[in-house]
């Protein structure tokens, strides 16, 4: 793979992950607040309407990171997929088990929703209509994208991966709607993955620089705010510009980088936490006027849960996986990844 000026941990990309997770969090808060008086909520309409685009940003970041990782010394499809497996599957399995417990107590859904086939598909992250943890559908796209990337990048580099993403988006859009088994391999979400791949091709040979980064980020914001009036496809364009700009950020505030570290946990855990609040509110007869207060309490609670998950569950697994892969590479005299934990 060709060399790149970008190297090590990219703080701006971590900030992007934090923004994506928080956007999805806010977009879904209405589900947790359905007990409360909507007239007493001070909802930020822009995020309430468009926060779901955090998923598009997540996909674009994945497209960028897949290409970025493929340029590092010692990259192999096996090591790449192994790291992705240990990063995604254990936490998803834990969240799935938590959802089973909640359903068994009629929290978030009736007990009959605990169906063996659905549980197995959720644990394995294979295409299905409704995973146990409802946000798990995005992980199905991620897993398919990683598998395809591991095949295509060694064959034809990032250009071949970009071509596949564009074709998958175009063909999938033409034959929509599709059952999950087909949609996960081809629909308009692949335009967002393509955006991340193209962002990598744009900036991979550039050095981090404030001027370039800020120009790209301003263009991304303008494109997203006003571009949707022109075309739905402006969202991937905005994501491409945003990821390019964030990749070129020389530095970022540490709290936002830390939020990026726990962004996967923020995304996975916010749904179970959101299922608990309405159940608790009806049982305890909370004051319906306090919905806005509970919105921000939920944010604190989800950040706390995600932080604990990162410190005591995700990071130990990541470190173990990195050591195991390093030992495996050493035994085969393959150069190891000099920074096994910095790219997630």
Task: For residue 33, give the 3-state DSSP assignment.
Answer: coil
Nearest to 197 by CA among 236, 223, 231: 236
pLDDT for residue 92 is more than 90: yes
pLDDT for residue 338 is more than 80: no
Model confidence at 341, in pLDDT bands (50, 70, 90)? very low
Span 15-36, average pLDDT: 96
Model confidence at 237, in pLDDT bands (50, 70, 90)? very high
**289 alpha-carbon distance from chain centroid:** 33
Model confidence at 272, in pLDDT bands (50, 70, 90)? very high
pLDDT attached to residue 113: 84
Average of per-residue pLDDT values in the chain: 92
pLDDT attached to residue 2: 41
Span 256-269, average pLDDT: 97
pLDDT attached to residue 308: 98
pLDDT for residue 259 is more than 50: yes
DSSP annotation of 288 reads: G
Span 225-254, average pLDDT: 93
pLDDT for residue 3 is more than 60: no
Model confidence at 5, in pLDDT bands (50, 70, 90)? low
Instruction: Give CA–CA dist 67/247, Å, rounded.
Output: 13
Span 189-214, average pLDDT: 95
Nearest to 227 by CA among 63, 53, 25, 60: 53
Model confidence at 331, in pLDDT bands (50, 70, 90)? low
pLDDT for residue 217 is more than 70: yes
Instruction: Give CA–CA dist 108/340, Å, rounded.
Output: 37
- pLDDT tens per residue across span 170-196: 999 888 788 899 999 999 999 999 999
Span 99-119, average pLDDT: 91
Instruction: End-to-end CA distance of the chain: give it in Å, rounded.
Output: 20
pTM reported for the whole predicted model:
0.93
Task: Mention every residue, 6+ apart, whose C-beta is less than 8 A from residue 36.
Answer: 281, 286, 288, 289, 290, 291, 294
Other Cβ atoms within 10 Å of 224 Cβ, number: 20
Token reading at 313: 């569950």
pLDDT for residue 262 is more than 60: yes
- For residues 340 and 322, the answer to whether their CB atoms sit within 8 Å is yes
pLDDT attached to residue 333: 53
pLDDT attached to residue 332: 60
Model confidence at 109, in pLDDT bands (50, 70, 90)? confident
| For residue 128, cis peptide bond before it (omega within 30 degrees of 0) | no
Instruction: Give CA–CA dist 169/163, Å, rounded.
Output: 10
- pLDDT tens per residue across span 30-67: 999 999 999 999 999 999 999 999 999 999 999 999 99
């Amino acid at each position: 793979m060709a060399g790149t000026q970008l190297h090590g941990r990219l703080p701006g990309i971590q900030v992007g992950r934090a923004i994506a997770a928080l956007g999805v969090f806010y977009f879904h808060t209405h589900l947790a607040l359905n007990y409360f008086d909507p007239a007493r909520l001070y909802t930020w309409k822009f995020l309430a309407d468009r926060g779901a685009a955090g998923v598009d940003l997540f996909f674009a970041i994945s497209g960028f990171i897949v290409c970025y990782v493929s340029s590092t010394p010692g990259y192999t499809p096996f090591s790449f997929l192994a790291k992705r497996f240990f990063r995604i599957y254990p936490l998803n399995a834990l969240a799935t088990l938590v959802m089973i417990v909640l359903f068994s107590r009629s929290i978030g859904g009736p007990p009959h929703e605990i169906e063996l086939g659905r549980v197995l598909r959720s644990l394995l992250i294979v295409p299905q209509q409704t995973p146990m943890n409802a946000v798990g559908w995005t992980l199905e796209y991620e897993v398919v994208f990683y598998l395809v990337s591991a095949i295509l990048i060694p064959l034809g580099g990032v250009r071949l991966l970009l071509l596949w993403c564009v074709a998958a988006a175009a063909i999938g859009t033409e034959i929509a709607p599709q059952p999950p088994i087909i949609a996960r391999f081809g629909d308009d979400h692949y335009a967002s993955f393509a955006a991340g791949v193209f962002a990598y091709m744009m900036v991979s040979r550039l050095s981090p620089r404030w001027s370039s980064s800020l120009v790209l980020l301003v263009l991304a914001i303008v494109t997203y705010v006003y571009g949707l009036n022109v075309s739905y496809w402006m969202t991937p364009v905005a994501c491409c510009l945003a990821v390019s700009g964030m990749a070129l950020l020389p530095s970022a505030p540490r709290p936002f980088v830390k939020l990026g570290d726990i962004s996967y946990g923020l995304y996975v855990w916010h749904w179970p936490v959101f299922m608990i609040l309405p159940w608790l509110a009806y049982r305890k007869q909370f004051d319906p006027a306090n919905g806005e207060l509970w919105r921000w309490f939920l944010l604190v609670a989800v950040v706390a849960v995600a932080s604990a998950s990162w410190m005591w569950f995700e990071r130990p697994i990541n470190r173990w996986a990195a050591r195991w892969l390093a030992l495996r590479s050493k035994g085969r005299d393959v150069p190891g990844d000099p920074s096994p934990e910095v790219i997630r």
